[in-house]
Amino acid sequence: MKSLIGLTCVIALFAVVLTAEEKKDEEEVKVFKRLIPADVLRDFPGMCFASTRCATVEPGKTWDLTPFCGRSTCVVSEDNPPRLLELVEDCGPLPLANDKCKLDTEKTNKTAPFPYCCPKFTCEDGAKLEYPEVGKPEQSEAGEKDKKN
């Protein structure tokens, strides 16, 4: 009986340690969220179409975006009339190229559930990752010339 109690305590302690590690990893991952118009099939007007699953999804339900690292939720807007939207959560844009920061292939698990599948980077001391500004389209030089003419 004592060994059973001891085993139970060890399992409980292990579960606490794993939960703490998961929370630590989750805190390190930035989750980017955006609302986009949902894909809707004409035969299923009140449901979102999840192209990564080739399935319809009811409002309020979530699906993973495998083979991509992310998840989406079907949402009804507060507009009048209401529209279906897709709340996309993913890892966001990749950082700008930096010779002092590398993708950490040992810590990155592309097959893990979201958000643990997000890429992890390791930088040399003093180096910091920089990310492109989200929402601002980058313009080419040709685009700038067209504006001037």
Does this model's pTM top 0.95? My answer is no
> What are the residue ranges spanned by the domains of the chain?
25-135
The pLDDT tens digits along the chain (149 residues) read 444 344 333 333 333 333 344 444 444 678 999 999 999 999 999 999 999 999 999 999 999 999 999 999 999 999 999 999 999 999 999 999 999 999 999 999 999 999 999 999 999 999 999 988 866 555 444 444 444 44
Conformation bin of residue 67: beta by default, left when phi > 0, alpha when psi is -120 to 50: alpha
Q: What's the pLDDT at 124?
A: 94
Residue 86, exposed/middle/buried by CB under 10 A (0-12, 13-18, 19+)? buried
First and final C-alpha spacing in the chain: 86
Non-local CB neighbours of 69 within 8 Å, separated by 6+ positions? 90, 91, 110, 114, 115, 117, 118
Distance separating alpha carbons of residues 41 and 20, to the nearest angstrom: 42
Distance separating alpha carbons of residues 10 and 141, to the nearest angstrom: 62
| Element of type H or E holding 34 | strand 32-37
Residue 84: closest CA among 42, 37, 52 = 37
3-state secondary structure of 28: helix
| Element of type H or E holding 73 | strand 70-76
